[in-house]
């Protein structure tokens, strides 16, 4: 994936967090969708989820599982499909982009850095995501820590700013 496309996806996730005034973890993905006038419907389907537009109404269908982290990721992934407008891509590329969007939406690393996260398990618990996704995000968090690459954009600064009360309260309780 081109660097420019990566930044577009990352920034779109941050824009959603800022525009929706999200200020606490775990991210309330259903509320975000509702605020954006996107229906989220539990369905008896063979897929984890899919999204569609019917009569100008955006709809996300998802299969409920006992793994709430997986369900939340599925809904965020489908939101990514609806917002990314990815045309002229293979299905594999579209899925990769939607996965990237969902991960960045549900686990904003700038916020996790401010929380002084120390493990994938902590990410999984705080963000209510699967441990497998949390491990991937923790590896990315560690890489960004080595490079000191947090809050380098105004958009990420806005995300972290919106979470400031949450960050302060979390750090008082956990440090």
- pLDDT tier at 89, thresholds 50, 70, 90: confident
pLDDT in tens, 101-119: 999 999 999 999 999 999 9
Region of 128 (left: φ > 0; alpha: ψ -120 to 50; beta: rest) is left
Average pLDDT over residues 68-77: 95
pLDDT in tens, 124-169: 999 999 999 999 999 999 999 999 999 999 999 999 999 999 999 9
- pLDDT of 97 over the 90 cut: yes
Global confidence as pTM: 0.94
- pLDDT of 1 over the 80 cut: no
pLDDT on residue 8 = 95
pLDDT on residue 38 = 98
The CATH number of the structural domain formed by 21-106 is 1.10.10.2910
pLDDT in tens, 2-54: 889 999 999 999 999 999 999 999 999 999 999 999 999 999 999 999 999 99
pLDDT on residue 70 = 93
**Rounded to whole angstroms, what are the CA distances from 146 to 125, 139, 141?**
24, 11, 9
Residue ranges, comma separated, of all CATH 1.10.10.2910 domains in the chain are: 21-106
11 and 155 Cβ atoms separated by less than 8 Å = yes
DSSP string covering 36-99: TTEEEEE---SSSEEEEEETTEEEEEE---S-HHHHHHHHHHHHHHHHH---S--HHHHHHHHH
pLDDT on residue 2 = 86
pLDDT on residue 169 = 97
């Amino acid at each position: 994936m081109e660097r420019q496309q990566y930044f577009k996806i990352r920034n779109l996730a941050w824009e959603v967090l800022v525009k929706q005034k999200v200020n606490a973890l775990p991210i309330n993905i259903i509320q975000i969708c509702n605020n954006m006038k996107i229906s989220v419907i539990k369905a008896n389907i063979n897929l984890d989820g899919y999204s569609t537009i019917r009569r100008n109404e955006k709809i996300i269908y998802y299969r409920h599982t006992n793994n709430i982290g997986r369900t939340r990721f599925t809904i965020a992934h489908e939101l990514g499909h609806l917002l990314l407008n990815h045309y002229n891509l293979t299905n594999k590329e579209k899925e990769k982009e939607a996965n990237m969007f969902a991960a960045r939406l549900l686990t904003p690393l700038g916020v996790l850095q401010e929380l002084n996260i120390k493990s994938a398990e902590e990410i999984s618990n705080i963000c209510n995501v699967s441990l497998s996704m949390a491990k991937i995000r923790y590896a990315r968090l560690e890489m960004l820590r080595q490079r000191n690459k947090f809050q380098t954009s105004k958009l990420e600064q806005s995300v972290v700013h919106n979470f400031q009360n949450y960050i302060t309260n979390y750090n008082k309780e956990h440090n």
